Amino acid sequence: MNSLALINEFLGQPPNASAHGYQIDHILEFCHWFMAALFVGWSTFFIFVLIRFRKRRQPAADHAGVRSPISTHLEFSVVLIEAVLLLGFAIPLWAKRVNQFPPGKEALVVHVVAQQFSFNYHLPGPDGQFGRRDVSLVINSNPLGLDPNDPAGKDDIVTTGELHVPVNRPVIAELSSKDVIHDFFVPSMRIGGDAIPGSLIPIWFTPVKTGTDEVICAQLCGLGHYGMKGTLVVDTPQDYEAWLKERAELAGGVQGAAPSPAPGAPQPQSKPPAPAASASPSPGG
Ligand SMILES: [Cu+2]
């Protein structure tokens, strides 16, 4: 397992920090080792053919070609292994990621709204309810167009660039965009998904290590794309509650009542079609 993991390190992957990430790592490792074996095998065969069928040894062409069945068996094996990889591992893993969302009550639901060139985050605040948003209310000081007259939105938390989440609790991030197609990609969580204007695309992950992780935009989204980075801070539950309280206070939210973020997160507002989500570990989109 450790020798297998070498290839991910070699490819520059940050250490995995999510519950499902080891499965992604495993399939990546397996695919890379398999491709390495194919590369060495076919290269050896190519060199063998160059030598074996050189002109000096084989002055006249042989029109009958290969008589041994070995190449047929080899090619069939390759197709079989690839089919097993795709049907046996890749598709079930992907299906699990996009079909089996954690229950909304158990998860922290956060709206991720991308724009050129930053990520905005919208959290429901202590009341556990997202306030209404309206595109006509969007101004520089209200980047998400939160309706100031909606009581549910009074304690909502909106941040740009930095998102805090508690460790060991599933996070459902609902991705959308204000302008062009972006991609919310958190390499250490082995998760990413496109943020598309007009769509609400849910992805989910469970952080298992506290610390600070990098968020990057993985779709070429304009001139400032290179700088479209953010931070995901995975806190202990106590630190997270302290952060939540501080942000809620900054937002002028409901005071007095103890914030109960852990059980208070609401159901996702809608359940968009599952295949829209992506468990792609690569930034290619
Ligand atoms: Cu972007």
Q: What confidence tens digit (pLDDT) does each residue in 127-155 have?
A: 778 888 888 888 888 888 888 888 878 88
Please check the confidence at residue 262 and state whether its pLDDT lies above 70: no
Please check the confidence at residue 55 and state whether its pLDDT lies above 70: yes
Cα–Cα distance measured from residue 150 to residue 33, given in angstroms and rounded to the nearest whole number: 55
Distance 157 CA to ligand 1 centre (A): 22
7-21, 117-131, 163-177: range with highest mean pLDDT: 163-177
pLDDT digits (tens, 9 = 90+) for 173-207: 999 999 999 999 999 999 999 999 999 999 999 99
- Tell me, what's the pLDDT at 268? 40
pLDDT digits (tens, 9 = 90+) for 200-248: 999 999 999 999 999 999 999 999 999 999 999 999 999 998 888 888 7
Distance 115 CA to ligand 1 centre (A): 7
Contact 139, 156 (CB under 8 A): no
Distance 114 CA to ligand 1 centre (A): 7
Distance 245 CA to ligand 1 centre (A): 30
Please check the confidence at residue 82 and state whether its pLDDT lies above 80: yes
Q: Quick one: which of 202, 204, 218, 196 has its CA closest to 275?
A: 202
Distance 116 CA to ligand 1 centre (A): 6
pLDDT digits (tens, 9 = 90+) for 199-208: 999 999 999 9
Q: Within 10 A of 76 (CB to CB), how many other CB atoms are there?
A: 11
Residue percentage of the chain with pLDDT more than 90: 39
The bridge status of strand 229-235 relative to strand 118-123 is: unpaired
Q: Quick one: which of 213, 203, 241 has its CA closest to 125?
A: 241
Distance 214 CA to ligand 1 centre (A): 14
- Tell me, what's the pLDDT at 50? 92
Distance 122 CA to ligand 1 centre (A): 18
Residue percentage of the chain with pLDDT more than 70: 86
DSSP codes of every residue in 106-169? TSEEEEEEEETTEEEEEE-TTTT-PPPB-GGG-BTTBTT-B-TT-GGGTT-EEEESEEEEETTS
Q: Quick one: which of 110, 76, 106, 82 has its CA closest to 203?
A: 110
| Block residue for tokens 């792609």 | 280
Contact 268, 274 (CB under 8 A): no
Cα–Cα distance measured from residue 87 to residue 52, given in angstroms and rounded to the nearest whole number: 38
- In whole numbers, what is the pLDDT of the chain averaged over residues? 82
Contact 277, 201 (CB under 8 A): yes
- Tell me, what's the pLDDT at 251? 67
**Residue 24 amino acid letter:** I
Phi, psi of 29 (to 5 degrees): -60, -45
Distance 109 CA to ligand 1 centre (A): 21
| Block residue for tokens 């309206």 | 134
Distance 220 CA to ligand 1 centre (A): 6
Q: At what angle do helices 70-83 and 21-52 cross, to 10 degrees?
A: 170
